[in-house]
Amino acid sequence: MGLCICWKDNLVKQFGLLLIGLVFLIAGCSSIVIKPVFQTKEREEPVDYQVPYAVFPDNLLFLGLGDSLTVGVGDELKQDGYLGRVKQELLQSDQIEQIDLINTAKRGRRSDQLMTLLSSGALDKEIQEASHIYLSIGGNDVMKIIKRDLFSLQLDAFEEERENYETRYFHILHYIRDLNPQAPIIALGLYNPFSLITVESEEVESIITDWNTTMERQLMEFEATCYVPVQDLFYTNTNLVYHTDFFHPNAKGYELIANRMIRTMESCGFVEETNGELYVKGASRNE
């Protein structure tokens, strides 16, 4: 490792200026982090899993966990980002009578901060009651490295932090599963906002791919999980999917995420389409 990420001279200034702008736009996200203590079990081999769908539930509780993508930052239509759109789409089904939404996500949150929040027990009740859990976490972990090493980015730093992220992500999923063994966990992948600058920033794209692979690998360790890839949706800005901060999705971007999420939930077995009608599978909310 130790290979330095280098850009052409005519791109360095442009990339550096945008990075500085992004740093100030997303500044204020840092907080004092207390390292949580988790009681973990030894990893078990994944097995084929079928959610116990005795019925198609009609009363659901969606729980949002993570960072600004689950908050819906950048959605100029104020429709609660991808989570609000998924909710509205599924409410079109005659099966569903009610979907309540509890969104605990926070702009700028990193995986270590989410671990601290979970270990405090502050969200135990919400996790236990949820019928479906939506998670986005990791983008700010990457941005922490970029802010710290702004003009001397090295692959080693991203790889070291990716390994730490893998451990934290496992503990986050383990904590959720201990509290709620049945609720599907739908996890959003990362994307590379720096593809806005140039398609030549392949190093960053490769880093995001590695982190997404890590995320998907950890999700496979647990039952009833679903990884939703979105990296391709935000490669460059051909489809005009970025908010004016050039970092978060706009309404169109969140619409694309929501559509991808529903289709992926269908392939994961959490949603079934019959005669053009969507049916949500899973246990009803736990009250």
Task: Report d(CA 72, CA 209) in Å as an integer.
Answer: 23
pTM of the model: 0.81
Domains, the chain, in order of start with CATH, read: 58-280 (3.40.50.1110)
What is the β-pairing status of strands 185-188 and 225-228? Answer: parallel
Task: Report d(CA 57, CA 53) in Å as an integer.
Answer: 9
Query: What angle (nearest 5°) sits at the alpha carbon of residue 215, between those of residues 261 and 182?
Result: 65
Task: Report d(CA 193, CA 17) in Å as an integer.
Answer: 14
Query: Residue 195 is which amino acid?
Result: S
How high is the pLDDT of residue 42? 53
How high is the pLDDT of residue 235? 87
Taking residue 149's Cβ as centre, other Cβ atoms within 10 Å add up to: 13
pLDDT tens sequence for the chain (287 residues) = 444 444 344 434 444 444 444 444 444 444 333 344 444 445 555 544 444 443 567 899 999 999 999 999 999 999 999 999 999 999 998 888 899 999 999 999 999 999 999 999 999 999 999 999 999 999 999 999 988 887 777 889 999 999 999 999 999 999 999 999 999 999 999 999 887 765 546 788 899 999 999 999 999 999 999 999 999 999 887 778 888 888 899 999 999 999 999 999 999 999 988 877 888 876 567 76
For the chain, percent helix, then strand, then coil, each to nearest 5?
45, 15, 45
Residue with tokens 């970025």: 242
